[in-house]
């Protein structure tokens, strides 16, 4: 039974990526025009920081492929957008709890004497030690709101307003950026269910992949060493929205039928992140001095970005439907996108590129659909007998976390049930897991298909790049200090 559960969980990973090859960067045509609202990765896991066993950490990364040196205007989030993290805690593929993040950028125009009759505004982002707000030209703050029920019409509870650290300009502007950034980890009071933490700020890119080779017709060595490739994202940054929330604030408190004549609280939750913008934009032909004066935006919130399980939109959804996926909701996935999971095309592409790795022949891919869309019975399937299929990260909050030193980056298929796809930790190698399942490892143990259906099912496929738990911090917010825009020159 142990191996069956591991394989089924692996199937979830595949449907999330159907032979995954990269995280969600520039995954849809329209989102390339608005990178500030482009979600790149979503993590959700039982916290493994010492003393935090009763908490869940959720991290949503946005604004991909940041070059740290990209000044003087660095990587603020969109103050005309609404960023959200949604939680489904009863298996109906509809949000029950939503955390909304609303950003505001403020100008602190620094002007200095330059020989003229009056002071003149400087062109750089800062005029001295950037850890002192008085020396920085712009600052960002954000408000957090918790919504119970429908994200737009549910009961709203403001959780506070917080500041975001400035991006890592370089080592001359910041003498101690790690210490500076830690000062922006703030307590988050969630009322009767407890208190958590929140942090929003620039972090080092957490995903690892040889991105260019992947999209150059999978120009890799898929049977080579797991550490033989080049992580081309190593010098990139992203912006993280991170929360550590008490489990009691996320699960549904109602008593439900857990099977085997037991009743209790369902420990399974699902999560996805979205970003929305206003429907209308009116460009100002004569913007005033200041920031955010070039356009006026209004109308209803319109969702333009969505991410649950990794890699779905990037390598599962067909190009013609990628924008549609970004605007959709999990409850509508079966109606809109089921054929992309029933009949995934990437295994066939791999077979074409690597004839020695034939694609599975069992269609429709029921072995993948069942596990991915509903969760795995006995592991992370909601107790709801009428669970609605939908794409989201699912986590069993009752499965104990595993410390960083003991984690296996192949997660559940390697016996580490606290890892992907039971949630997702930063060090989980979702790419290698997904490649192996895509090519039919389930068939080798007769899960809705037979070994003859997947001749490449036992192949230890890899993209050749790893970034294991020891490459991350072991405390909130877990992701590492961002790459600096510059390092100091020797004097």
| Residue 278: CB atoms within 10 Å | 15
In which band, very low, low, confident or very high, does the pLDDT at 128 lie, cut at 50, 70 and 90? very high
Rounded to a whole number of angstroms, the CA Rg of the chain reads 23
For 183-208, the pLDDT digits (tens) are 999 999 999 999 999 999 999 999 99
Answer yes or no: is pLDDT of 62 > 80. yes
pLDDT value of residue 16: 35
For 256-268, the pLDDT digits (tens) are 988 888 889 999 9
Cα–Cα distance, 22 to 19 (Å, whole number): 10
Which residues make beta-bridge pairs with 144?
101, 160
Answer yes or no: is pLDDT of 311 > 90. no
pLDDT value of residue 151: 97
Q: Is 228 left (phi over 0), alpha (psi -120 to 50) or beta?
A: alpha
pLDDT value of residue 242: 98
Q: Are 241 and 49 in contact (CB under 8 A)?
A: no
For 349-406, the pLDDT digits (tens) are 888 888 888 999 999 887 776 666 787 777 888 999 899 999 999 999 999 999 999 9
In which band, very low, low, confident or very high, does the pLDDT at 237 lie, cut at 50, 70 and 90? very high
For 138-173, the pLDDT digits (tens) are 999 999 999 999 999 999 999 999 999 999 999 999
Answer yes or no: is pLDDT of 226 > 70. yes
Taking residues 81-99, what's their average pLDDT?
97
What stretch of H or E contains 6? helix 2-17
Cα–Cα distance, 348 to 425 (Å, whole number): 29
Of 399, 398, 404, the closest CA to residue 426 belongs to 404
Which residues make beta-bridge pairs with 269?
395
What stretch of H or E contains 61? strand 55-67
For 6-31, the pLDDT digits (tens) are 433 333 333 333 333 445 577 777 88
Taking residues 230-254, what's their average pLDDT?
96
11 against 225, higher pLDDT? 225
Which pTM was predicted? Answer: 0.92
Lowest mean pLDDT of 177-181, 278-282, 455-459, name the range: 455-459
First to last CA, the chain: 64
Cα–Cα distance, 69 to 227 (Å, whole number): 28
Cα–Cα distance, 41 to 197 (Å, whole number): 20
Q: What are phi and psi of 444, to 5 degrees?
A: -70, -15
Of 394, 398, 422, the closest CA to residue 410 belongs to 422
Cα–Cα distance, 78 to 83 (Å, whole number): 9
| % pLDDT > 90, the chain | 65
Cα–Cα distance, 184 to 270 (Å, whole number): 27
Q: Is 93 left (phi over 0), alpha (psi -120 to 50) or beta?
A: left
Q: Sign of torsion, CA 30 36 37 39?
A: positive
């Amino acid at each position: 039974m142990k191996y069956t559960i591991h394989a089924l969980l692996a199937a979830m990973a595949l449907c999330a990526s159907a032979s995954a090859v990269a995280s969600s960067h520039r995954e849809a045509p329209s989102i390339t025009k608005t990178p500030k609202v482009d979600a790149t990765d979503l993590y959700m896991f039982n916290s493994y920081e010492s003393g935090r066993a009763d908490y869940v950490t959720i991290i949503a990364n946005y604004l991909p492929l940041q070059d740290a040196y990209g000044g003087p205007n660095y990587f603020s989030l969109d103050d005309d957008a609404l960023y959200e993290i949604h939680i489904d805690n009863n298996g109906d593929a509809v949000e029950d709890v939503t955390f909304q993040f609303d950003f505001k950028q403020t100008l602190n125009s620094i002007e200095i004497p330059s020989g003229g009759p009056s002071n003149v505004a400087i062109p750089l982002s800062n005029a001295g030690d950037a850890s002192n707000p008085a020396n920085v030209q712009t600052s960002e703050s954000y408000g957090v709101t918790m919504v119970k029920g429908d994200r737009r019409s549910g009961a709203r509870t403001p959780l506070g307003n917080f500041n975001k650290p400035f991006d890592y300009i370089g080592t001359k502007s910041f003498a101690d950026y790690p210490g500076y950034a830690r000062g922006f980890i703030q307590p988050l009071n969630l009322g009767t269910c407890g208190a958590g933490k929140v942090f929003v700020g620039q972090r080092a890119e957490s995903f690892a992949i040889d991105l260019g080779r992947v999209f150059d017709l999978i120009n890799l060595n898929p049977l080579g060493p797991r550490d033989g490739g080049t992580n081309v994202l190593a010098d990139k940054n992203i912006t993280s929205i991170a929360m550590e929330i008490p489990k009691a604030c996320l699960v549904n408190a109602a008593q439900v039928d857990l099977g085997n004549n037991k009743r209790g609280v369902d420990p399974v939750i699902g999560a996805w992140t979205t970003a929305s913008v206003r429907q209308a934009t009116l460009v100002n032909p004569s913007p005033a001095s200041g920031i955010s004066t070039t356009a006026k935006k209004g109308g209803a919130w319109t969702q333009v970005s969505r991410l649950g399980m990794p890699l779905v939109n990037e390598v599962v959804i067909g190009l013609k439907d990628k924008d549609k996926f970004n605007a959709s909701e999990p409850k509508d996935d079966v109606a809109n996108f089921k054929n992309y999971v029933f009949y995934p095309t990437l295994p066939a592409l791999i077979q074409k590129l690597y004839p020695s790795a034939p694609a599975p022949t069992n269609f429709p891919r029921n072995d993948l659909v069942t596990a991915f869309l509903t969760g795995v019975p006995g592991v992370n399937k909601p107790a709801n007998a009428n669970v609605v299929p939908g794409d989201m990260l699912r986590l069993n909050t009752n499965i104990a976390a595993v410390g960083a030193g003991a984690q296996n980056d192949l997660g559940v298929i390697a016996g580490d049930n606290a890892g992907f796809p039971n949630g997702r930790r930063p060090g989980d190698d979702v790419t290698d897991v997904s490649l192996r399942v895509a090519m039919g490892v389930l068939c080798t143990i007769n899960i809705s298909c037979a070994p003859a259906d997947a001749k490449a099912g036992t192949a230890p496929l890899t993209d050749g790049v790893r970034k294991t738990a020891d490459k991350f911090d072991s405390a909130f917010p877990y992701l590492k200090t961002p790459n600096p825009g510059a390092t100091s020159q020797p004097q």
